[in-house]
Structures are given as structure tokens and as C-alpha cells.
Amino acid sequence: MKKIVLLTGNELRHQYLIKYIANQPDTNVLATFSESSSGNIVELVSNEEENSLRTEHLHARSKVEKDFFQLYCEELDYSANIINILRGEINNNDHVDYIIKLNPDLIVSYGCSIIQSQLLNIFKNRFMNIHLGLSPYYRGAGTNFWPIVNNEFSLIGTTFMHIDEGIDTGDIIHQIRAKIYPFDNIHSIGNRLIIDSVKVCAELIKNFNNLQKHEHKNSLTGKVFKKSDFTEESIKLAYNNLDSKIKNYLSQKSILDKKFPIINAFES
């Protein structure tokens, strides 16, 4: 039985992760720190002018997220010992001390604030971060949005990595690529990937002690994006590419994917 602490956000995608992991028969979630959504990309865009395309995009994201996750989150009984905190409070001394006293086998983070505490040292090699994006190719914010803008569909995916002081720079444990189909949109690709990522996360937790030999150093190459890069023009480019380039990617998928190798922890 793996003893786990989860550090995450409070959106539906995060609730899905919490409930799925808490319902695994071989996992005991000792505590879940769920941060408020204050300061997220929706709030950032709502405070800006000339944001109609971005607002429409983010509203659509919320709607599709409900289609994918709401029923599961509403119907499933679970126990994850949730502690609701404000954005950034995960680094408060009281919370850090409490996690240290719990002494989990593994800490899993997904969508929480940047960790800037002694947890990084005390739980070194026992702290796994779920990064929506394929590192080191894309790091920072919106790392599955920018591959669409740049017509690099092979680089939409998830990286499971050890967490460190940098931004998406920890040693890589495992990666998966997004499943993409004709007539997909940005949100269907993203939410399907989240479902696959949560399932893989459960398997990584279960087998974590046997995965250490598969770690790969994460270089500092690749592209780094910030929330401020998310502009009206970037939305136009993303949607234009989605409409015109997805069929081209699927027709050459095996060739294009080979140009960007990813890490598979389950391969010997």
C-alpha cells in the first residue's frame, strides 16, 4: 500500500485526478492540498482588454472539461483527506511541516504552485510532478497549446518527472503522447490526454520503486512560454493549424513522432 500526498489545483481536471488516485486499491492518500484557482489563466485574461478570442477559448475549455469529468467527479465516492488552501500557500511552513510528519512514500503534484520549500530536499526522488507537455521540448505555461500554434502535434503529451527547483527541469521518469483523431479540437485532445495521464499516473505510483533506473536527465533546451505569451494572435494561429494541419500530421504520424523521442519507463 503506497502512502501518497497530493498537491494540486481545484478545477475539474484536478478533482478527477484526486478521485481516481484515491480510489486505487493499493493507494492510501494521506492528504490532498487543493489550491484555489486564483491567479490562473482565466483570471489573467479576464483582467485584460482585447481578449474576446481567448475568453471564448477558455469558456469552451471549461465546458468540454465538464463533459469529460463532471459526471465522474459527482458520482464517485472517495476519501482523499482534502485540505483547501489559497494559491501559493503550499509553501507555508505549517503545511510543509504537516507533510513531513505524514512521511508519505511519494508526493505527487499536478497544477499546484511552484514548490519552494524543504520538501524538495527531504523528498528528493520521492516527489513526482505531472507536467502537461513534453519536456524539454516545451516548458513553462500552456505547453500543449504551443505545439499546436507551431504545428508540432508530435509534441503534445505529458511528462512525469522528479521535481526540482527549476521550471519543468526535473529528471524525466516517463512520457506519453496525446492521442489525436480527425475532427478533434484543442479541448478534446487536452482532456483525453488528462484521462490517459491520470491512468498512467496510477500505474507509476504502483510501480514507482522499480522505475528509478529509468530516470533521464532533463536538458534545458527547448521552448519556454509564459502566461503572458497567450495572446489573441496565438489563438488564431492555433485554430488555423488545428483545422488545416491535423490531417497532415496523422498521415505522417510515425515519421514525425520519431523526430522527437520520448521516455517510456515501462520498457526494459
| CB-neighbour burial class of residue 257 (10 A; exposed 0-12, middle 13-18, buried 19+) | middle
> In terms of Cα–Cα distance, which of 191, 193, 246, 235 is closest to 64?
191
Asked whether residue 122 carries a pLDDT value surpassing 90, the answer given is yes
Residue-by-residue DSSP string for 45-78: HHTSSS-HHHHHHHHHHHHHHHHHHHHHHHH---
Structure confidence at residue 56 (pLDDT): 86
Average pLDDT on 18-31 reads 94
Give residues with Cβ within 8 angstroms of 69, minimum separation 6: 12, 13, 15, 16, 191
- What is the predicted pLDDT for the residue at 76? 67
- Residue 215 confidence (pLDDT) above 60: no
CA distance 141 to 90: 19
pLDDT bucket at 244, cuts 50 / 70 / 90: confident
DSSP-derived 3-state class of residue 112: coil
For 150-202, the pLDDT digits (tens) are 999 999 999 999 987 766 678 899 999 999 999 999 999 999 999 999 999 99
CA neighbor of 190 nearest in space, from 180, 201, 182, 203: 180
The per-residue pLDDT of the chain, averaged, comes to 88
119 pLDDT higher than 90 = yes
- SS3 assignment for 6-41: EEECCCHHHHHHHHHHHCCCCEEEEEEEEECCCCCH
Q: Beta strands 106-110 and 2-8: pairing type?
A: parallel
Q: Which residues, in sequence order, are CB contacts of 243 under 8 Å at separation 6+?
A: none
Is the per-residue pLDDT at 75 higher than 80? no
Question: Mean of the pLDDT values across residues 240-244?
Answer: 84
- Torsion from C-alpha of 130, 144, 187, 233, nearest 10 degrees: 140
Q: What is the dihedral of CA 189, 131, 19, 215, to 10 degrees?
A: 120
Ranking 34-38, 111-115, 121-125 by mean pLDDT, the lowest is: 34-38
The interaxial angle of helices 52-75 and 186-206, nearest 10 deg, is 40
Which CATH number does 2-258 carry?
A: 3.40.50.12230
pLDDT of residue 66: 93
Average pLDDT for 56-60: 86
The residue ranges of every structural domain in the chain are 2-258
> 246 by DSSP, 3-state: which?
helix
Helix (H) or strand (E) holding 128: strand 127-132
Per DSSP, helices labelled H in the chain are 12-22, 41-46, 52-75, 93-102, 119-122, 146-149, 186-206, 232-251, 253-258
The stretch 32-47 carries a mean pLDDT of: 68
Indicate the pTM of the whole model. 0.90
CB 22 within 8 A of CB 78: yes
How much of the chain exceeds pLDDT 90, in percent?
59
Mean pLDDT for 143-156 is 94
Greater confidence, 124 or 193? 193
Read off the C-alpha cell for 116: 519552494
Most confidently predicted of 79-88, 212-221, 254-263: 254-263
